[in-house]
Amino acid sequence: MHYDYITENVCSQMISLDINKGKVSNIHFTGGCNGNLKAIAKLVDGWDADDISAKLSGNTCGMRPTSCGDQLAKAVMAAKAAELGNA
């Protein structure tokens, strides 16, 4: 299932990803720090949504209360809920 997540309070504007039985792939950030976000997407490609959330939730960027990684954690959990029909 393809899922698009609109980010909040970060430089990237959207996170697109695919989720299949809780496994996340094809992560793409629109906007933000291109090289860093491509690296994060490659590192977690194929991971379970719960594992991505556990690693990245709560990560901040400067004085912001969130980061693109934290937003990815939120995105994958929202995608998982949508996949399970809970969204």
Starting at the edge strand found earlier in the chain, the sheet holding 12-20 runs: 2-6, 12-20, 23-31
pLDDT at res. 87: 58
Radius of gyration of the chain (CA): 12
pLDDT of 44: 98
CATH label of the domain that carries residue 28: 3.30.390
Burial class for 46, CB neighbours closer than 10 Å (0-12, 13-18, 19+): exposed
User: CB atoms < 10 A from the CB of 73, how many?
Assistant: 23
Q: By residue range, what is the domain housing residue 65? A: 2-83
Residues of the chain with pLDDT under 50: none
Number of domains in the chain: 1
Specify the pTM.
0.95
